[in-house]
Structure 1
């Protein structure tokens, strides 16, 4: 067993770097995830939790795949339990509804083909009907940061699994906001692609015409890595569409609501302050901002549950609900049965469709080459408070999300600070379906702004590394243990000699020369400043920390060697890099 400390945040990049350097194995990662899932069992994250027996097939399969050509090799991911995983029951949050899939959902299969490991099935608001995370017979999923608060739904377990370090990414679904609200409440990125961009075959329908598979990650970059494997037409899926893979591109315009927004719940004032702080950070992006009337989006949001689309849910689930009276969560059944109301006539469906089509026209004209930004949600509650008012709180949760799929928009929810201690706040970037580039570019820039201007930003220092601490060498793990991250490849100024010290194991020594010398290859890492002193204290003589001059003339801290060590050491300057020894 390796002694590497596995970080709480499981990022795709960290896992890939560790696997490439052969410093950790997928089996060790899975065992740690299993341990974490057992420790968090009372948080009701999983319906089918990960086990080594269940995952042995996928771990063995990795031996037949090439790490270099499998983009998600060994990356563990969680699956909302309304998405099929072959051989594992799909319950949609209702045990009586469960069935055993004979094949994977298309998006799950694509992850597995890319080398990812499907961990198990996560908890959800029953039948993906709810935005609060409390409507499940498998228990209420706790918030990842404050257990008394709601986790958000319906993709509650998927979001909390990622936030608690039990998956590197997780699939959710999104009809009314279920792939975005849990992201905001658990300090994650929630990426909702354009409708049809990811196939929905193998997903239990909520509203089939509006359903979308989504992903929870810790960054835009990692969401796009999942997107690259998930995206593309599936010829057997009638809802599948051909959209190009998005990249980072900035919009010409950012829209914000011109009237004050409503906030709600016990943290309403804190959420309002967090929204105002987010606007100030948006202004630092130096993009054109225009303030617009939000009414058209609010009207579209109201249609989802007040209009005939709720009848689409009933069309799929009505026969089961009718034949299993009293089995479902009472609130869920009430919502679903509203779809059978006599007011939802064929004429009302077409009337609503025509009204929505006009809204789409207005939206399309407005949002050409632009993004709109809103709070992902305007508040939160404790789980006790939601139980007292399950319908009202859930409705408020969807105020700023429900319009998205009806208006055929793409969206990405990103962290935007905290409303209160351990109470994350998030915003969502919206764009037209074909403009996913814009939400990705704008959200990525916003995250960069947030990090650069955050009062909580961790002070760091760059470190030049030229030997056993480089990637792929035995002491790389020490860099990670001290919180360092790789930044770039680099070369020194043409002033250095590199010697091979007579130690066990052999180590390089970098000596700056008054005359002569060569340019030596090295790596630049970034390390938290408060860890740097402890790290430097571990370095044995004749090595130490000093200033290393780079090829552009700048100087950064890095590994250097005292000049006396040249005596008795082998001069290996000519090889140019320790990686060539």
Structure 2
């Protein structure tokens, strides 16, 4: 594998191109994923981790598939462990609940038929009863960027698997936000189709009438590729509905909250500023903005866990909990047993249903030809804080998500400008079930997709030359991603530079321009939003700093350089031509 270079962020587009050029094979990809999963074992991403012997039949099967007719040929994916993979245990995050299904979940079968390769089953909040990613007997799933912070739940492992490059995409489920919150906390796209658009047959339900299978990816295009393979009615799924794949279109308006939003947690101020930055970006789009009263969405959200709808969870899992005392985590059992509370009866359920129907009517009028935009999450927490206060911290994570499925909305969570280094921030766009195309069009406009017919004023960016640990595949690439930076190209400096190995732990390169002589040094060029650039520069430790780097074509761009005093006594590694080839 030494001669195979994989980017940290695996994407459908990159893999497809690499396969076409015979630069890597699907087997190379799986071996890289197995190595990455083993290296990240302490992050508790997997319940059933990637193993070559388990994946081998799906690799061998590719020889019988025509890549031209298999749109996901050779694309590795992960699935949350409440989604069935034939012959592999499904635990739903509870060892005593475990069973081995004899057939794939409907959506998994469709993806495999399209050529995708299942690689493993991911960790989750037990029985999908959380938005924090810490409620699992298989360990707390660490955030992909900062291990002290929560990863988001309940589809925690699926999101982190994609963010850490263990899969090109991963399936989650979403009842109250589980397909969106982990996306925001790990810098990803989380696509939640309309209820029933993807079949849920073969899924361990949290609330069968509200559950959706969702997907995590690095960009919206990949999410929609998966959608095309997964979507469609299933004749054996009572919750399945017929929805055509969305065609991106621009909504008549974007609805933003007129009231001041609540932000929480240790980074509440940073989240508040990031939301204002996102609003400024939205206002630069050529789409009408209307500021609306969002209390109706809060009312709907309160019905999900503050009313008789919680009984649906107990209806599905109460029998297991009663028959297996002590099998569930205490916090999980507490949540499930709330559905058996004496104050809930048939009359209270019907009253809640009638209230919800009125709220659906109001939201339908408000969002006709429109898209609602909210923060995906109003903050985050450290894992220690969640342990100390598991219920309240979890409740806060659902503040801007819980209304979605009750009101029969589709949604997509997309990254916005980072709140701080290593602290992603994202927004969620919501639309009526029949308006998935407006959802996708608005998301593409916000992300700057040139294929959408909307005038988006580009946010100012700067190129940055990166020559060391911030390059793709190295430990500090995550800092670039957290700042909203994107890889542009590989390049070389003008033949005027010396590279040294600094005596740090881990060792880092230092790039020094010489008045005469010197060599051309390999590097990467990235593009970073100017809003994040200042904070990024301020975080760089001496003796490294940002200066002007002259490229081989004579242009100068900001990039990593080293102060002369530190380079004087450091080991000269110029002859290697770059950090990737330095020994």
Normalised by the size of structure 1, how large is the TM-score? 0.80
Q: Is the 8 A contact 1:281 1:449 kept in 2?
A: no
Distance 1:292 1:216 in 2: 29
Q: Secondary structure at the match of 1:458?
A: strand
The equivalent residue for 2:232 is 232
**2:32 is the counterpart of 1:32:** yes
CA-atom RMSD, angstroms? Answer: 2.4
The equivalent residue for 2:105 is 105
Q: Is the 8 A contact 1:459 1:528 kept in 2?
A: no
Distance 1:529 1:16 in 2: 19
The equivalent residue for 2:67 is 67
**2:373 is the counterpart of 1:368:** no
Q: Secondary structure at the match of 1:418?
A: coil
Residues 348-367 of structure 1 aligned to structure 2 (within 5 Å): 348-367=348-367
The equivalent residue for 1:499 is none
Q: Secondary structure at the match of 2:426?
A: strand
Q: Is the 8 A contact 1:458 1:528 kept in 2?
A: no
Which protein has the larger Cα radius of gyration, Structure 1 or Structure 2?
A: 1
The equivalent residue for 1:20 is 20
The equivalent residue for 2:124 is 124
Q: Is the 8 A contact 1:190 1:412 kept in 2?
A: yes
Q: Secondary structure at the match of 2:214?
A: strand
Distance 1:531 1:181 in 2: 39
Distance 2:462 2:389 in 1: 38
The equivalent residue for 2:142 is 142
Distance 1:157 1:180 in 2: 13
The equivalent residue for 1:341 is 341
Distance 2:221 2:493 in 1: 27
Q: Is the 8 A contact 2:493 2:521 kept in 1?
A: no
User: Unaligned stretches of 5+ in structure 1?
Assistant: 461-479, 482-525, 540-544, 548-581
Change (3 A) 1:80 1:529: closer
The equivalent residue for 2:177 is 177
Q: Point out the more displaced range, 331-340 or 442-451.
A: 442-451
Distance 1:412 1:241 in 2: 19
Distance 1:87 1:533 in 2: 56
Distance 1:249 1:428 in 2: 17
The equivalent residue for 1:271 is 271
- CA positional deviation for 1:4: 3.3
The equivalent residue for 1:283 is 283
Q: Per-residue CA shift, 1:441-489, capped at 9, x if unaligned?
A: 11111111899855665369xxxxxxxxxxxxxxxxxxx99xxxxxxxx
Distance 2:464 2:388 in 1: 44
Q: Is the 8 A contact 2:494 2:553 kept in 1?
A: no
The equivalent residue for 1:92 is 92
Distance 2:4 2:392 in 1: 47
- CA positional deviation for 1:528: 3.6
**2:463 is the counterpart of 1:458:** yes
Q: Is the 8 A contact 1:2 1:23 kept in 2?
A: no
Q: Secondary structure at the match of 2:225?
A: helix
Change (3 A) 1:52 1:363: same
Q: Secondary structure at the match of 2:22?
A: coil
Residues 517-532 of structure 1 aligned to structure 2 (within 5 Å): 527-528=488-489, 531=492
Q: Per-residue CA shift, 1:528-575, capped at 9, x if unaligned?
A: 4864758x9699xxxxx989xxxxxxxxxxxxxxxxxxxxxxxxxxxx
Q: Is the 8 A contact 1:195 1:405 kept in 2?
A: yes
User: Unaligned stretches of 5+ in structure 2?
Assistant: 451-455, 466-471, 474-486, 496-518, 523-551, 555-583
Distance 1:377 1:163 in 2: 18
* Alignment: residue pair count: 481
**2:428 is the counterpart of 1:423:** no
Q: Per-residue CA shift, 1:500-545, capped at 9, x if unaligned?
A: xxxxxxxxxxxxxxxxxxxxxxxxxx954864758x9699xxxxx9
Change (3 A) 1:446 1:457: farther
Distance 2:231 2:198 in 1: 5
The equivalent residue for 2:547 is none
Q: Per-residue CA shift, 1:259-299, capped at 9, x if unaligned?
A: 10000000001100000010000111121000000100000
Distance 1:351 1:457 in 2: 55
Q: Is the 8 A contact 1:75 1:116 kept in 2?
A: yes
Q: Is the 8 A contact 2:492 2:520 kept in 1?
A: no
Distance 1:412 1:531 in 2: 38
Q: Secondary structure at the match of 1:352?
A: helix
Q: Per-residue CA shift, 1:156-198, capped at 9, x if unaligned?
A: 0000000000000000000000000000000000000000000
Distance 1:13 1:367 in 2: 33
The equivalent residue for 1:511 is none
Residues 139-538 of structure 1 aligned to structure 2 (within 5 Å): 139-448=139-448, 453=458, 457-458=462-463, 527-528=488-489, 531=492
Distance 1:423 1:250 in 2: 30
The equivalent residue for 2:42 is 42
Change (3 A) 1:531 1:429: farther
Change (3 A) 1:529 1:3: closer
